[in-house]
Amino acid sequence: MSAVDTLPPLSAAAAHNAALLDGTTHRHAQGGHSNVVVFEQTIDVEEDVTDFFDARFSSRKDLANIKTLLNQQTELGQDLNHKLQESKERTAQVLRQAQTQSKLALNSLQDLESSALDLEEQMENSEAFAAGKNKRDQRSMIEELSDLQKRVQALEDAKRYIVVLSRTQKLMSESRELLQTSTVQALIPYKSLVDLTNNVKHTVASQDTKLERHLSASVEGLLQDFKGSLSRKFQSSLDAVGWPKAIADVSTITSDKLDDFEASFKEFLLLQEPIYGALDRSSEKPYPALLTMELMVAPLIMRFKFHFEGKRPTNRLDKPEWYLTHILELIKDHAPFLQDYVQGIVQATEYKEYDVKNDFIRLLLGAVERKIRLSAPAMLDSPEILSHAIHEALRFDKTLRENEDYVPPGQTTDWQGTVQVYLGNREWLKTWLRVEKEFAVARYTQIMEDVDAWQPAYDDMGEKEYIIPTKSAEKLMDLLEIVTERYRPLPVLEHRTFLLDIQLDILLAYHRHIRGLVDQHESLTYSFVRVMPGAASADELNTMGIEGLRNLCQWLSSVEYVSTTLKDWAEDVFFLEMYKEISERTQKIINPLNSENEDSEPEDMASRTRLDENGTIFDESVKGFGSLSKRIQELIVRNITKDVFGSMKSYVSLRSWPQIEMSDVGPQPAVLQDPLVSHHDYEDDVSPELYQPLTLLTHSLEFLAATMPTRQFTTLYRQVAMEMQDFMWQKIIMKNSFSELGGLQFARDVRVGLWGASRRWIKKPENYHRKLRDASILLSLQSAKANSPPAMVSYDQDKKSKDQGPTTRTLAQIMAVLFDEDLEVGMVKRRLEEIGVLHLGINEVKDVIRRRVECWR
């Protein structure tokens, strides 16, 4: 057994590298020189010379340039010879170094073989080593073997280094030479070099990063050589077509220039993948910019920097619209050439997903964003300028989205815009929000300080279906609409929701202001203690009569207009999307308008833990203003009824209702038994005590009808009618007894007085006083003695339909039915319906009947 046989076997990689090294050494030895032969081809000199002269000298005139051409070719030949000589010297030097390293490696291997033989001999002759007695010698031999193994590994690594370096140099030389003729062919050895580098990173890089750095630098250097060569070629084609000037008509450029542009464009794109990697079409992120577009945009960006980043007068901090307009003009000027011609070239490549115009815009926006980052810090000392710049950026972004349909190529999510550069910085964002809130509050203060703030915004709307807002309400909503429109383009929810803070703050201030006025009105109007009874102050006079009603109507119009406008806004797509986003991110929203309103009912806690999926962004605001509107309406009703009821003291104190006997005036026509029938020439004057109350009521209703829209007027009239009905029911009907003539007089007061005062604006006012209508029928029933026989007409015969009107019955007949305990309730109600009593309950009918002096029950 030889010493060589005892060495550990070489790894597969080491054996492969050794084979490569041996092969290389063998070829070098056979060739007798160190030059690497890349191409072997036979050149026919005479044929090449002939072709050369045929191509350049087609006529005698061309012979005049022969000297110039000869000088050019001489210089070209000298330059090529010089480069060839340099390449030969570099190649020879590398090969000499490789040979030297190989010889050293061989010498080391021979030394290792000799050492292994000596070691084997010592192991065979040493019984002490075999018996394990001499541990000191055993330890020494193990350490020596370990050291020898490390040296062998180092030699193997050195051999691999040499092979890798030699291979790297060869691929780089091949790639550079092929680049002179074909970029496609030059990329083949380049890709092999990339693969070699990746393989080394997974094997050798963990042991020595110097080789990895060298290979990476080689790949990068070769790629930069490619990029420099192709970019110069593409730049020449750009210069030929006149870029970066706007090219409005491609037909003005010769076909050979366009062909050269297209060829160099496509050739330059061959480096897109080597530089930026393979295109990831599954990602939501935008694609990398095209190399060709980077080169095309470069002079435009340089001009942009010259005008807007230097000391030129065009670089003004307070005029961001200048450079933004400049960018829009560049897009407008170059879009025809990019869309009509360049896009077609890109469509013929593997990058057809690109929109070249949007890629062009994206590269220009890089300069805009850089300009913003440079300018924004200086704007912090002048927040108004910062606010102006952000508004201009929002307008700029909106223009790109709407007019240019801009989306970064490959991006599937919404583009956040250049404004995001401002808003992405917390300090800049806080400064801007503070300025915007201060502006909104200042504008709101001006609105409320206007002396005509509560005057109607219009003299006449022309339609009674719409609310005539006050000037303050209209200007307030205009201000909020301006806030909405200015910040509608904001792309991020967190930034858009701040406009709600501005709007809610202003709405809350307006709500509190009106509520304070209402509180003051209520305290002056309904105070129980007067310092000087009978003497009212100027403020108290403003709460009385038509003047007080005017103030309440102005506040009501303001509240209703704001509430109605908010309902319309809530259905806007912008606010619906915002509400959806908020509902997905939060479980609770508390609106200060609702919490500030003392009239709001407590809400179920479970219902406030999440937002209503069918709700809107302004639901709570509308609810707060709705509660305030309800309170003002109640005050309007109280204002009207307070004056009317105050003037009805003499009417309420009448005690003549039961004292008028029917025999004093003789029989009355049957027509008076139906208070709904229109009066003719018969005596139908209302009680004189009712003149003043009816006058006050008429004036109040006339003012309301002229001030409020029809729907609002009807709502208020319904509430006034309910108050009047309850008052007359409690203070007159239930407090007095009535003879037949007294009942007829009361019926006339209701029909001619109360309803007549309202019939000008309400077609059927009796529908709003149904209890009074029924009570008037009962109180005006024809009298009959209690022991008199029933009327000749039976209840079971000759029934009249409702279309024929109510049946004529006497008081005795109605009492007989009403107090007959054997009759069913349904039968009693049908008998009451026959005389027109439709809305009172049986117990209420009995209470009214007992008001007649003839009633014995």
Angle at the Cα of 843 from the Cα atoms of 842 and 846, rounded to 5 degrees? 90
Most confident of 42-46, 456-460, 530-534: 456-460
Per-residue pLDDT at 777: 93
pLDDT (mean) for 42-61: 70
Rg for the chain (alpha carbons), in Å?
52
Per-residue pLDDT at 15: 42
Q: What is the DSSP letter of 768?
A: G
DSSP of 355-382: -HHHHHHHHHHHHHHHHHHHHHHHHTT-
Quick check: 1 pLDDT over 90?
Answer: no
The set of residues, in sequence order, having a beta carbon less than 8 Å from that of 189 and lying 6+ positions away, is 171, 172, 174, 175, 178
Tokens for 362, please give them: 């994206």
Per-residue pLDDT at 594: 53
- Percentage with pLDDT > 90 across the chain: 37
Place 532 in a pLDDT band, splitting at 50, 70 and 90: very low
Number of other CB atoms surrounding residue 365 within 10 Å: 20
Please answer whether residues 212 and 204 qualify as being in contact, where contact means their C-beta atoms are separated by less than 8 angstroms. Answer: yes
pLDDT (mean) for 8-17: 40
Quick check: 606 pLDDT over 60?
Answer: no
Spatial CA neighbour of 542 closest among 648, 647, 639: 639
Per-residue pLDDT at 788: 39
Please answer whether residues 716 and 636 qualify as being in contact, where contact means their C-beta atoms are separated by less than 8 angstroms. Answer: yes
Per-residue pLDDT at 135: 53
Quick check: 5 pLDDT over 50?
Answer: no
Please answer whether residues 452 and 553 qualify as being in contact, where contact means their C-beta atoms are separated by less than 8 angstroms. Answer: no
pLDDT (mean) for 36-45: 49
The set of residues, in sequence order, having a beta carbon less than 8 Å from that of 558 and lying 6+ positions away, is 454, 469, 470, 472, 473, 510, 514
Per-residue pLDDT at 768: 93
Tokens for 608, please give them: 């406030």
The CATH number for 650-849, chosen from 1.20.58, 3.30.160, 3.30.370, 3.55.50, is 1.20.58
Per-residue pLDDT at 586: 60
pLDDT (mean) for 372-391: 92
Burial 331-348 (b: 16+ CB within 10 A, else e): beebbebbeebbeebbee
Burial 74-98 (b: 16+ CB within 10 A, else e): eeeeeeeeeeeeebeeebeebbeeb
The upper half-sphere exposure of residue 253, i.e. CA atoms within 13 Å in the direction of its Cβ, equals 22
Q: Where are the alpha helices (DSSP H) in 424-492?
A: 426-449, 471-487
Strand partners, 470: 456
Quick check: 699 pLDDT over 90?
Answer: yes
Place 555 in a pLDDT band, splitting at 50, 70 and 90: very high
Please answer whether residues 194 and 219 qualify as being in contact, where contact means their C-beta atoms are separated by less than 8 angstroms. Answer: yes
Per-residue pLDDT at 75: 86
The residue that leads in pLDDT, 610 or 30, is 610
Please answer whether residues 740 and 780 qualify as being in contact, where contact means their C-beta atoms are separated by less than 8 angstroms. Answer: yes
Per-residue pLDDT at 139: 57
**Rounded to whole angstroms, how far apart are CA atoms 728 and 772?**
8
- Percentage with pLDDT > 70 across the chain: 79
Angle at the Cα of 330 from the Cα atoms of 324 and 335, rounded to 5 degrees? 130
The residue that leads in pLDDT, 7 or 536, is 536
Quick check: 761 pLDDT over 50?
Answer: yes
How does pLDDT run across 621-647, given as a tens digit for each residue? 889 999 999 999 999 999 999 989 999
SS3 598: coil
The residue that leads in pLDDT, 583 or 514, is 514
How does pLDDT run across 150-179, given as a tens digit for each residue? 777 777 777 777 877 777 888 888 878 887
Place 103 in a pLDDT band, splitting at 50, 70 and 90: confident
Element holding 595 (H helix, E strand): helix 592-596
Which range, of 241-245, 474-478, 481-485, 489-493, averages the lowest pLDDT? Answer: 489-493
Strand partners, 810: 782
**Rounded to whole angstroms, how far apart are CA atoms 583 and 566?**
19
Which range, of 115-129, 283-297, 409-423, 611-625, averages the lowest pLDDT? Answer: 115-129
Exposed/middle/buried for 609, CB within 10 Å: 0-12, 13-18, 19+?
A: exposed
**Rounded to whole angstroms, how far apart are CA atoms 696 and 757?**
10
Tokens for 830, please give them: 């049908």
Quick check: 717 pLDDT over 60?
Answer: yes
How does pLDDT run across 739-752, given as a tens digit for each residue? 889 999 999 999 99
**Rounded to whole angstroms, how far apart are CA atoms 577 and 499?**
14
- Whether pTM > 0.75 for this model: the answer is no
Burial 731-750 (b: 16+ CB within 10 A, else e): bbbeebbbbbbbbbbbbbbb
Spatial CA neighbour of 117 closest among 129, 128, 125: 125
SS3 599: coil
**Rounded to whole angstroms, how far apart are CA atoms 342 and 362?**
16
**Rounded to whole angstroms, how far apart are CA atoms 738 and 656?**
8
Handedness of CA 309, 311, 312, 314 (dihedral sign): positive
Please answer whether residues 583 and 613 qualify as being in contact, where contact means their C-beta atoms are separated by less than 8 angstroms. Answer: yes
Quick check: 482 pLDDT over 50?
Answer: yes
Give me the chain's average pLDDT, please. Answer: 79
Quick check: 271 pLDDT over 70?
Answer: yes
Per-residue pLDDT at 840: 92
**Rounded to whole angstroms, how far apart are CA atoms 621 and 385?**
33
Please answer whether residues 570 and 591 qualify as being in contact, where contact means their C-beta atoms are separated by less than 8 angstroms. Answer: no
Tokens for 670, please give them: 């049957």
Per-residue pLDDT at 395: 92
Place 237 in a pLDDT band, splitting at 50, 70 and 90: very high
Number of other CB atoms surrounding residue 9 within 10 Å: 7
Quick check: 104 pLDDT over 70?
Answer: yes
The residue that leads in pLDDT, 639 or 660, is 639
Number of other CB atoms surrounding residue 124 within 10 Å: 11
Quick check: 615 pLDDT over 60?
Answer: yes
Place 523 in a pLDDT band, splitting at 50, 70 and 90: confident
**Rounded to whole angstroms, how far apart are CA atoms 216 and 231?**
22
Per-residue pLDDT at 123: 66
Per-residue pLDDT at 497: 73
Number of other CB atoms surrounding residue 544 within 10 Å: 15
Per-residue pLDDT at 192: 82
Residue ranges covered by each domain of the chain? 4-181, 279-424, 433-640, 650-849
Per-residue pLDDT at 328: 96
The set of residues, in sequence order, having a beta carbon less than 8 Å from that of 11 and lying 6+ positions away, is 156
**Helix 471-487 and helix 426-449: axis angle, to 10°?**
160
The set of residues, in sequence order, having a beta carbon less than 8 Å from that of 518 and lying 6+ positions away, is 555, 628, 631, 632, 635
Per-residue pLDDT at 418: 94
Instruction: Give the CA diameter of the chain.
Output: 165
pLDDT (mean) for 307-331: 94
Tokens for 28, please give them: 């070098």
How does pLDDT run across 818-856, given as a tens digit for each residue? 888 888 889 999 999 999 999 999 999 999 999 998 887
Place 23 in a pLDDT band, splitting at 50, 70 and 90: very low
SS3 94: helix
**Rounded to whole angstroms, how far apart are CA atoms 748 and 744?**
6
The Cα-based distances of 427 to 389, 580, 606 in angstroms read 15, 28, 38
Quick check: 608 pLDDT over 50?
Answer: no
Which range, of 15-19, 570-574, 769-773, 809-813, averages the lowest pLDDT? Answer: 15-19
Quick check: 203 pLDDT over 80?
Answer: no
How does pLDDT run across 557-597, given as a tens digit for each residue? 999 999 999 988 888 787 877 777 777 666 444 455 554 55
Number of other CB atoms surrounding residue 669 within 10 Å: 9
Please answer whether residues 774 and 838 qualify as being in contact, where contact means their C-beta atoms are separated by less than 8 angstroms. Answer: yes
**Rounded to whole angstroms, how far apart are CA atoms 507 and 618?**
11
pLDDT (mean) for 498-522: 88
The residue that leads in pLDDT, 463 or 376, is 376
**Rounded to whole angstroms, how far apart are CA atoms 540 and 548?**
9
